């Protein structure tokens, strides 16, 4: 009887303890759930102040619908970790915002389900699974209360460093319903992002701009810039007409913000139009009036910043520092200027040189990109006539610091005395002529246009279905342009955002493969280069034969046959090398696995056993000595 | 001084001990005598604080074994039934472990251990694992561990169970030697043991204390003037030897 | 108190090495861990900056191995009768319970320490995020702590160590895999946020994931600590209860 009573008491006590346990945990979670330490080295889980500011200014609720396939982890392991991370990161936004302002919904679209249909309709793009079928989803649709939405078709881990910037920009965009208007003048950068139904990856920057701005394309022969334009972007105009000069002049005097990208030698144009492409227009009259000189005759170089490339010399290819392709780092990028603060790697190729006028008056000149103090130069016209090895020899080191991009701000006088169309009937429709600025303006000039070409600074392999969020930047060029425009449109909150280190470094498998490959790289590259030459030769023979340029002599036939044989043997050799690499890599992997699964535990056990046995024998000895001593006494 | 007043213990409604009262003093070698199931082990467990009494009081040198466990236990050396030991330890390791459990200060720790080892002649088995020892040695090791802190009270639960006659003799000799300084309680149902070493007998049957006497008196009360016949008559065994 | 705990701790900890148990457990643990890392969690493919491949299967492995450490702690004492010896020593029950618990816990931590060479080995292959790994180790240590406490508790209730092992594995498995979502279904509509928080706060994997992803917090610590304290408390009750 007593025992029964005791049992009930005990049970009750246990129940009480369990209740206390549950209450303690739930209340800790509710009250202190946000008390988290970010223990990652790159502070991956911490929102920047700028993001917090954007969150605190959110005026309406935002819903984030995250589509993640449940079999993502098993089918595509590279994405699994990143999916976890994205979810965590979005939760951080939710926690930092006012309660119930951000709602996150995680959805799992199964193949052939209505949810999958919905995901596709919303613009989420499927990823391939291990069987090659496209039925994995990992994207998000973010909508505000007004029904405006932003879609991330796929999250790609190569862009993970930009995750915060991307989400914060989207939230900012959804909160400010109208996009700023960007006037674009660029005869050589057409707004065509598709050619033959395909996205041109090199113009990825256009997609990035379209995402943030309403782009208004302008011709380079207009006489007036529309007044509703927030910022004007001028890229590589071929010829600066007097009418357009007037238009720019008056635009700036009215306080318009202007970003000019010019180039002394556009590698992009040289490669697309051949070597006889026209140099870009000389803006100097206009620029000098604002206080800037752009020297298009010489090109800046710097040995300390040059890109390491393989240069063809008569002795063969060698790796060398090419001084006109500059990799700028923190010390060459102005870290005080709000637009360039935090950027730490920008690539520019064959840039012109900018210098301030002696008499600046009321304006303020700020260099944005420079070379080091060990700069040098080369004449622009030399670039057309020489190969890389010769250019390398022609480099003239002047130990001078050159400026590659600069900002000038303030009030300016006009370049003109009167309205250029004065007296014609058009003049009446135009705003009145200004001889001096009525509002301060900001003008930024960049003396290189190749820096916006995406292949120079990003991996564009995944931009096909996902032009904005599928771009994986390697250098900060894209951020540089976007930030300059943010700066000119005065969006200071967004300027505070900075990109983080990428979450995804190489996997161990890739790293091992690279190591193995590097052992064979020289032989492999050599064989490949030879193969390309041989193939070119074969093609030449073919055209010659088909066009009947030469008679098919016996000797020629022999040559062709030899060439074909060489091609075959080269292809075989390449295959063999590939096989060797694969084999060796496989060996490496299995040796690592074996080491860790068999030898490592074995060594541990033996070491511990030896340790214990040593201690034990020492103790035994000690006791035996004592006993001996005790007995003799 | 051990004082018990109206000590009772129930297990699931069965009375294992029923209103026991007694008082033991220094110099007593008490034999706790009784048939199997009389409640001897239960009584010892209550004295050592391992079990708590259902009712009644125990006082050991003025301390309660439940409320002041540590104070009471530091005065007691207890060898439970069958001398349970940790089989995987060596004799020395076990003795050192017991010495540390008894809060013996480190300066005299080794000295204490060796005096006990010397006392019980354990030199030859110090490095042996306990599981490999003979029963006699196991008992000696258990006793050594109980004596580590020179307890004022020594409680032995069936100390000669399973020992050969020589070992029994050694044990009795030891008990005699140790009895001058302390109270010794031996639980047993072996009558020769009582004669050999005890100077006082507590006779238990079915949880009741039926006689608190000396061996001489007990002998006189038996029909054949020996303890065996007295034991049989008192505990309800048949008396036709 | 502290000294006595240490005495019990030393005895129990060394006991593991006196029998082949320790070596078998270490070997099984290392082989299982490495096997899981290399064959089950895409070691060469995954992003392993925080050694995620290694930590993913640690709870499952520890569920099997920690009970092997704790099963004998109390059940063997009971079986061989030494419980009467240890409980009649002039030291408090609490120090005995803590000493035994800490010994098994320390052995569990030793298992983890033995995996450090593996970390060094991997760090030679790629650069690792050391603070994130620290957090993951912390999470694993906390998991070991709570599994040890559960194992001690179960062992205190059993006389048979095989039964104690099986019950501990079962209990560990239940505690780790239980998800209270079904209990909260009816209130799901009330406030989604609240109910999610409620179930998460009692879900092992939620806490463990937080730790291995490098984001430990107060709620994680609370979960593991309260669970351990609760188990040890029940252990204390079991000692008294099972004596009679």
Q: Concatenated DSSP letters for chain B?
A: -EEEEEEEEEETTEEEEEEEEEEE-TT-EEEEE--TTSSHHHHHHHHTTSS--SEEEEEETTB-TTTTHHHHHTTEEEE-TT----TTSBHHHHHHHHHHHTT--HHHHHHHHHHHHHHHT-GGGTTSBGGGS-HHHHHHHHHHHHHTT--SEEEEESTTTT--HHHHHHHHHHHHHHTTTSEEEEEES-HHHHHHH-SEEEEEETTEEEEEE-HHHHHHHSTTSSHHHHHHHHHT-----
Q: What is the pLDDT of residues B121-164, one digit of tens each?
A: 888 888 889 999 988 889 889 999 998 988 999 999 888 877 88
> A614 CA to chain B: closest CA distance, Å?
15
Where are chain C's structural domains?
2-243
Which residues in C lie closer than 8 A to residue A596 (C-beta atoms)? 34, 37-38, 118, 121
SS (H, E, C) C79-138: HHCHHHHHHCCCCCHHHHHHHHHHHHHHHHHHHHHCCHHHHHHHHHHCCCCHHHHHHHHH
Residues spanned by the domain of B18 = 1-75+152-163+186-241
Q: Do B127 and A631 touch (CB under 8 A)?
A: no
Residue A427 pLDDT > 90: no
Q: Does B48 touch chain C if contact means CB atoms closer than 8 Å? A: yes
Q: Does A539 touch chain B if contact means CB atoms closer than 8 Å? A: no
The pLDDT of residue B107: 87
In whole angstroms, give the CA distance from residue B185 to residue B212: 13
> C98 CA to chain B: closest CA distance, Å?
15
CATH of residue B206? 3.40.50.300
Q: Do B92 and A630 touch (CB under 8 A)?
A: no
In whole angstroms, give the CA distance from residue A367 to residue C135: 44
Q: Do A505 and C127 touch (CB under 8 A)?
A: yes
Q: Which residue of C has its CA nearest to A17?
A: C230
Q: What is the pLDDT of residues C99-132, one digit of tens each?
A: 999 999 999 999 999 999 999 999 988 888 899 9
Partner residue facing C222 (CB), from A25, A38, A85: A25
Mean pLDDT, residues A163-177? 89
Residue B19 pLDDT > 80: yes
> C227 CA to chain B: closest CA distance, Å?
29
The pLDDT of residue A482: 92
Q: Where are the beta strands (DSSP E) in A330-363?
A: 345-349, 353-356
The pLDDT of residue A537: 84
Q: What is the pLDDT of residues A314-372, one digit of tens each?
A: 666 677 788 889 999 999 999 999 999 888 889 998 898 999 988 777 889 999 999 99
Q: What is the pLDDT of residues A387-416, one digit of tens each?
A: 777 888 888 888 899 999 999 999 999 988
Whether residue B18 lies inside any domain: the answer is yes
The pLDDT of residue A280: 55
Cβ count within 10 A of residue A189? 20
Q: Do B101 and C88 touch (CB under 8 A)?
A: no
Q: Do B101 and C3 touch (CB under 8 A)?
A: no
Task: Report residue C181's pLDDT band, with 50, 70 and 90 as the boundaries.
Answer: low
Interface test with C, best of B74, B82, B84 (most C CBs within 10 A): B84
Rounded to the nearest angstrom, the gap between the alpha carbon of residue C98 and the centroid of all alpha carbons in its chain is 15
User: Which of the given ranges, A134-143, C141-150, C204-213, has the highest pLDDT on average?
Assistant: C141-150
Mean pLDDT, residues A116-128? 88
Dump the DSSP string for A165-214. Answer: HHHHHHHHHHHS-SPPEEEEE-TTS-S--EETTEE-GGGHHHHHHHHHSE
Q: Which residue of C has its CA nearest to A30?
A: C197
The pLDDT of residue A454: 83
Mean pLDDT, all residues of chain C:
89
Token pair of B76 as six digits: 């007691």
Partner residue facing C135 (CB), from A39, A81, A593: A39
Q: Which residue of A has its CA nearest to C24?
A: A605
In whole angstroms, give the CA distance from residue A96 to residue A61: 14
Q: Does A14 touch chain C if contact means CB atoms closer than 8 Å? A: yes
Residue B34 pLDDT > 80: yes
The pLDDT of residue A3: 53
Provide the terminal-to-terminal Cα distance of chain A, rounded to the nearest Å: 63
> A208 CA to chain C: closest CA distance, Å?
28
Q: Which residues pair with A136 in a beta bridge?
A: A127
Residue A458 DSSP code: E
Q: What is the pTM of this model?
A: 0.83
Task: Report residue C37's pLDDT band, with 50, 70 and 90 as the boundaries.
Answer: very high
Q: Does A37 touch chain C if contact means CB atoms closer than 8 Å? A: yes
Q: Does A615 touch chain B if contact means CB atoms closer than 8 Å? A: no
Whether residue B146 lies inside any domain: the answer is no
Residue C188 DSSP code: T
**CA-angle at A580, arms to A578 and A586, nearest 5°:** 105
> B13 CA to chain A: closest CA distance, Å?
8
* % of chain C beyond a pLDDT of 70: 93
Q: Do B85 and C85 touch (CB under 8 A)?
A: yes
Q: Does A504 touch chain C if contact means CB atoms closer than 8 Å? A: yes
Residue A178 pLDDT > 70: yes
Q: Which residue of A has its CA nearest to B12?
A: A3
The pLDDT of residue A1: 42
Interface test with B, best of A626, A628, A631 (most B CBs within 10 A): A626
Cβ count within 10 A of residue A248? 25
The pLDDT of residue A188: 60
What's the total number of domains in chain B? 1
Rounded to 5 degrees, what are φ and ψ at A220?
-95, 20
Q: Does C17 touch chain B if contact means CB atoms closer than 8 Å? A: no
In whole angstroms, give the CA distance from residue A183 to residue A427: 22
Window 90-119 of A: residues touching C by CB (8 A cutoff) are 100
Whether residue B125 lies inside any domain: the answer is no
Least confident interval from A295-304, A396-405, A423-432:
A423-432
Q: Does C241 touch chain B if contact means CB atoms closer than 8 Å? A: no
The pLDDT of residue A263: 82
Partner residue facing B49 (CB), from C81, C85, C88: C88
The pLDDT of residue A198: 52
Max CA-CA distance within chain C?
Answer: 59
Whether residue B36 lies inside any domain: the answer is yes
Q: Is B127 exposed, middle or buried, given 0-12, 13-18 or 19+ CB atoms closer than 10 A? A: middle
Which residues in A lie closer than 8 A to residue B13 (C-beta atoms)? 1, 3
Closest of A371, A320, A367 to residue A350, by C-alpha: A371
Q: Does C81 touch chain B if contact means CB atoms closer than 8 Å? A: yes
Mean pLDDT, residues A418-430? 82
Q: Which residues of B41-79 are buried (b: 16+ CB within 10 A; e: fewer)?
A: bbbbbbbbbbbbbeebebebeebebeeebebbbbbbbbb
Which alpha helices (DSSP H) does chain C contain, by range? 2-18, 21-35, 52-56, 58-80, 82-87, 93-113, 116-125, 130-157, 161-177, 181-184, 192-201, 204-212, 218-243
Q: Do A623 and B10 touch (CB under 8 A)?
A: no
Mean pLDDT, all residues of chain A:
84
Rounded to 5 degrees, what are φ and ψ at B51?
-115, 155
Partner residue facing C88 (CB), from B11, B73, B93: B73
Which residues in C lie closer than 8 A to residue B84 (C-beta atoms)? 80-82, 84-85
In whole angstroms, give the CA distance from residue B233 to residue B228: 9
The pLDDT of residue A394: 84
Mean pLDDT, residues A245-260? 92
Task: Report residue A269's pLDDT band, with 50, 70 and 90 as the boundaries.
Answer: low
**Cβ contacts from B onto C, under 8 A:** 66
Chain A: touching chains (3 or more CB pairs < 8 Å) = B, C
Q: What is the pLDDT of residues B188-226, one digit of tens each?
A: 877 877 887 888 888 888 888 888 888 888 888 777 777
Cα-Cα-Cα-Cα dihedral sign, residues C126, C132, C138, C143: negative
Q: Which residues pair with C145 in a beta bridge?
A: none
Q: Does C80 touch chain B if contact means CB atoms closer than 8 Å? A: yes
Which residues in C lie closer than 8 A to residue B98 (C-beta atoms)? 89
CA-to-CA dists, residue C150 to B74, C32, C224, C227, angstroms: 32, 22, 11, 8
Rounded to the nearest angstrom, the gap between the alpha carbon of residue B229 and the centroid of all alpha carbons in its chain is 24
Alpha-carbon Rg of chain B, whole angstroms? 18
In whole angstroms, give the CA distance from residue A465 to residue A472: 14
In whole angstroms, give the CA distance from residue C36 to residue C42: 9
Q: Do A1 and B13 touch (CB under 8 A)?
A: yes
Rounded to the nearest angstrom, the gap between the alpha carbon of residue C56 and the centroid of all alpha carbons in its chain is 15
Whether residue B63 lies inside any domain: the answer is yes
Whether residue B231 lies inside any domain: the answer is yes
The pLDDT of residue C111: 94
Chain B: touching chains (3 or more CB pairs < 8 Å) = A, C
Closest of C150, C131, C151 to residue C216, by C-alpha: C131
In whole angstroms, give the CA distance from residue B236 to residue B203: 13
Helix (H) or strand (E) run with residue A88 in it? helix A77-96
Task: Report residue C201's pLDDT band, with 50, 70 and 90 as the boundaries.
Answer: confident
The pLDDT of residue C35: 92
Partner residue facing A25 (CB), from C31, C223, C241: C223
Mean pLDDT, residues C134-146? 95
Choose between C1 and A193: higher pLDDT: C1
Residue A193 pLDDT > 60: no
Q: What SS3 class is residue A345?
A: strand
Edge-first strand order for the sheet with A345-349 is A306-313, A316-329, A345-349
Q: Which residues of A558-578 are buried (b: 16+ CB within 10 A; e: fewer)?
A: eebeebeebbeebeebbeebe
Closest of B168, B175, B214, B159 to residue B41, by C-alpha: B159
Interface test with B, best of C90, C92, C93, C243 (most B CBs within 10 A): C90
Q: Do B69 and C85 touch (CB under 8 A)?
A: no
Cβ count within 10 A of residue A112? 9
Fold observed for domain A50-149: Glutaredoxin (3.40.30)
Q: Does A623 touch chain B if contact means CB atoms closer than 8 Å? A: yes
In whole angstroms, give the CA distance from residue C156 to residue C241: 10
Pairing of strands A292-295, A214-217: unpaired
The pLDDT of residue A521: 85
The pLDDT of residue C243: 73
ipTM: 0.89
């Amino acid at each position: 009887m007593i025992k029964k009573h005791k049992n009930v008491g005990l049970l009750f006590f246990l129940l009480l303890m369990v209740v206390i346990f549950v209450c303690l945990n739930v209340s800790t979670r509710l009250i202190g759930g946000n008390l988290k330490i970010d223990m990652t080295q790159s502070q991956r889980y911490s929102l920047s102040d700028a993001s917090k500011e954007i969150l605190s200014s959110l005026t309406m609720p935002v819903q984030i619908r995250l589509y993640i396939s449940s079999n993502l982890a098993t089918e595509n392991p590279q994405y699994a970790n990143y999916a976890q991370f994205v979810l965590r990161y979005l939760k951080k936004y939710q926690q930092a915002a006012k309660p119930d302002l951000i709602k996150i919904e995680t959805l799992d679209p199964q193949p052939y389900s209505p949810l999958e249909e919905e995901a596709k309709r919303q613009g989420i793009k499927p990823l391939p699974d291990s069987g090659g079928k496209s039925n994995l989803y990992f994207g998000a649709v973010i909508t505000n209360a007004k029904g405006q939405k932003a879609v991330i078709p796929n999250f790609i881990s190569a862009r993970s460093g930009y995750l915060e910037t991307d989400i914060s920009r989207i939230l900012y965009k959804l909160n400010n319903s109208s996009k700023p208007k960007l006037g674009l003048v660029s005869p050589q950068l057409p707004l065509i992002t598709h050619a033959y139904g395909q996205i041109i990856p090199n113009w990825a920057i256009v997609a990035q701009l379209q995402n943030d701005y309403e782009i208004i394309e302008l011709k380079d022969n207009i006489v007036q810039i529309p007044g509703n334009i927030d910022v004007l972007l001028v890229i590589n105009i071929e010829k600066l007409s007097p009418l357009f000069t007037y238009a720019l002049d008056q635009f700036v005097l009215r306080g318009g913000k202007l970003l000019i990208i010019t180039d002394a030698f556009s590698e992009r144009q040289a490669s697309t139009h051949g070597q006889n492409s026209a140099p870009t227009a000389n803006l100097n009259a206009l620029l000098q009036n604002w206080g800037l000189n752009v020297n298009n005759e010489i090109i800046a170089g710097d040995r300390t910043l040059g890109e390491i490339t393989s240069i063809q010399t008569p002795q063969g290819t060698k790796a060398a520092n090419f001084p006109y392709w500059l990799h700028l780092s923190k010390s060459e990028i102005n870290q005080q200027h709000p637009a360039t603060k935090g950027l730490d790697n920008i690539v520019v190729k064959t840039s012109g040189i900018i210098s301030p006028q002696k008499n600046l008056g009321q304006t303020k000149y700020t260099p944005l990109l420079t070379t080091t103090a060990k700069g040098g130069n080369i004449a622009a016209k030399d670039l057309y006539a020489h190969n890389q090895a010769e250019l390398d020899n022609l480099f003239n080191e002047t130990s001078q610091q050159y400026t590659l991009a600069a900002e000038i701000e303030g009030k300016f006088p006009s370049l003109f005395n009167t309205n250029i169309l004065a007296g014609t009937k058009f003049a009446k429709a135009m705003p009145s002529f200004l001889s001096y600025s009525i509002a301060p303006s900001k003008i930024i000039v960049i003396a290189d246009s190749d820096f916006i070409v995406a292949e120079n600074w990003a991996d564009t392999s995944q931009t096909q279905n996902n032009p904005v969020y599928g771009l994986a930047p390697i250098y900060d060029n894209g951020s540089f342009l976007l930030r300059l425009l943010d700066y000119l449109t005065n969006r200071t909150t967004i300027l505070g955002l900075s990109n983080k280190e990428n979450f995804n470094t190489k996997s161990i498998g890739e790293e091992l493969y690279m190591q193995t490959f590097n052992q064979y790289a020289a032989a492999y590259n050599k064989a490949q280069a030879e193969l390309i030459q041989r193939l070119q030769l074969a093609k030449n023979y073919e055209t010659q034969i088909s066009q009947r340029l030469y008679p098919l002599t016996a000797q020629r036939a022999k040559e062709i046959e030899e060439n074909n044989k060489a091609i075959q043997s080269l292809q075989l050799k390449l295959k063999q090398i590939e096989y060797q690499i694969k084999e060796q890599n496989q060996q490496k992997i299995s040796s690592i696995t074996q080491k860790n699964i068999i030898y490592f535990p074995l060594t541990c056990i033996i070491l511990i056993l030896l340790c214990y046995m040593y201690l034990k024998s020492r103790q035994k000895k000690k006791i035996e000595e004592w006993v001996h001593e005790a007995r003799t006494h | 001084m051990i004082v018990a007043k109206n000590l009772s213990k129930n297990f699931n409604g069965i009375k294992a001990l029923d209103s026991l009262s007694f008082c033991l003093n220094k110099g007593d070698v008490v034999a706790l005598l009784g048939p199997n199931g009389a409640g001897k082990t239960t009584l010892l467990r209550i004295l050592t604080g391992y079990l708590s009494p259902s009712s009644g009081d125990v006082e050991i040198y003025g301390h309660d074994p439940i409320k002041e466990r540590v104070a009471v236990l530091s005065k007691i050396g207890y060898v439970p039934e069958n001398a349970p030991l940790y089989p995987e330890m060596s004799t020395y390791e076990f003795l050192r472990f017991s010495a540390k459990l008894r809060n013996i200060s480190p300066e005299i720790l080794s000295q204490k251990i060796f005096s006990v080892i010397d006392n019980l002649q354990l030199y030859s088995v110090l490095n042996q694992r306990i599981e490999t020892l003979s029963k006699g040695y196991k008992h000696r090791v258990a006793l050594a561990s109980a004596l580590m802190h020179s307890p004022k009270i020594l409680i032995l639960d069936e100390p000669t169970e399973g020992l050969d006659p020589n070992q029994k003799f050694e044990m009795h000799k030891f008990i005699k030697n140790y009895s001058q300084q302390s109270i010794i309680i031996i639980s047993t149902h072996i009558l020769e043991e009582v004669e050999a070493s005890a100077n006082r007998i507590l006779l238990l049957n079915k949880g009741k204390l039926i006689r608190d006497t000396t061996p001489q008196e007990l002998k006189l009360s038996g029909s054949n003037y020996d303890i065996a016949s007295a034991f049989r008559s008192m505990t309800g065994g048949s008396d036709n030897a | 108190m502290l000294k006595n705990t240490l005495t019990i701790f030393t005895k129990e900890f060394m006991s593991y090495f006196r029998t082949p148990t320790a070596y078998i457990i270490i070997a099984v643990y290392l082989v299982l861990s490495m096997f899981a890392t290399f064959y089950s969690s895409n070691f060469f493919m995954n992003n392993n900056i925080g050694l995620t491949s290694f930590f993913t299967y640690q709870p499952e492995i520890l569920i099997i191995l920690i009970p092997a450490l704790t099963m004998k702690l109390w059940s063997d004492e009971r079986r061989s009768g030494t419980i009467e010896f240890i409980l009649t020593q002039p030291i408090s029950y609490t120090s005995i319970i803590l000493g035994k618990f800490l010994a098994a816990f320390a052995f569990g931590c030793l298992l983890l320490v033995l995996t450090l060479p593996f970390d060094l080995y991997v760090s030679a292959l790629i650069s690792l995020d050391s603070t994130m790994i620290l957090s993951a180790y912390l999470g694993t240590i906390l998991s070991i702590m709570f599994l040890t406490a559960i194992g001690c508790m179960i062992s205190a209730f059993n006389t048979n160590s095989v039964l104690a092992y099986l019950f501990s594995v079962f209990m560990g498995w239940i505690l780790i895999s239980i998800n209270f979502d079904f209990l909260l279904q009816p209130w799901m509509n009330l406030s989604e946020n609240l109910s999610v928080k409620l179930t998460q706060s009692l879900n092992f994997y939620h806490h463990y994931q937080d730790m291995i992803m490098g984001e430990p917090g107060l709620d994680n610590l609370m979960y593991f600590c309260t669970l351990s304290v609760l188990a040890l408390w029940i252990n204390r009750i079991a000692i008294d209860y099972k004596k009679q």
